């Protein structure tokens, strides 16, 4: 199969190579997540990783601080439609644009569910400085635990 192979209608990958590449992208334990977690942990804070804040909601936060009822998400610029860095793909753009719009809608829905249940939600973009994210998280945990 060549790189310029066109998939049958309904396939999400434009080529076998693209499919392998996209399947290799991590959904958890990304570099930005690990950097923020390391900095938060160094401040003495403990949390759950890739955990469901609400047992009835089939969605996980990147970091969950249960006693403080804080859910932290570190969103990838491509997958979550960053207004600064998202660039629509050139191949199979209809599929991927719809996928990203669905992710954004699910993110908003998740935020609404968590807030309705009394949780605080923090969302960061992967391009934000990890130090800034960690400071915001620590300050929020401190405020919520009072």
Residue 99 lies in domain: 27-145
Tens-level pLDDT at each residue, the chain (146 residues): 444 444 445 555 556 665 566 555 656 789 999 999 999 999 999 999 999 999 999 999 999 999 999 999 999 999 999 999 998 888 888 888 999 999 999 999 999 999 999 999 999 999 999 999 999 999 999 999 98
Residue 49, in any domain of the structure: yes
Residues in the chain: 146
Distance separating alpha carbons of residues 69 and 75, to the nearest angstrom? 19
Tally the domains of the chain.
1
Residue 7, in any domain of the structure: no
pLDDT reported for residue 8: 47
Residue 16, in any domain of the structure: no
**CATH number of the CATH domain containing 140:** 3.40.960.10
Residue 64, in any domain of the structure: yes
Residue 2, in any domain of the structure: no
| Residue 5 three-state SS | coil
Of 68, 99, 88, 86, nearest to 126 by C-alpha is: 86
Residue 13, in any domain of the structure: no
Residue 12, in any domain of the structure: no
């Amino acid at each position: 199969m060549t790189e310029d192979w066109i998939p049958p209608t309904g396939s999400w990958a434009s080529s076998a190579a693209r499919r392998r590449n996209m399947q290799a992208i991590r959904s958890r334990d990304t570099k930005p997540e690990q950097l923020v977690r390391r900095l938060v942990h160094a401040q003495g804070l403990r949390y759950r990783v890739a955990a469901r804040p609400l047992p009835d909601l089939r969605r996980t936060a990147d970091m969950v601080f249960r006693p403080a009822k804080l859910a932290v998400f570190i969103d990838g610029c491509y997958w979550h439609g960053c207004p600064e860095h998202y660039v629509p793909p050139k191949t199979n753009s209809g599929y991927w644009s719809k996928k990203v719009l669905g992710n954004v809608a699910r993110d908003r829905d998740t935020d609404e569910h968590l807030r309705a249940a009394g949780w605080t939600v923090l969302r960061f973009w992967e391009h934000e400085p990890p130090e800034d994210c960690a400071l915001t998280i620590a300050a929020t945990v401190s405020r919520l635990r009072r």
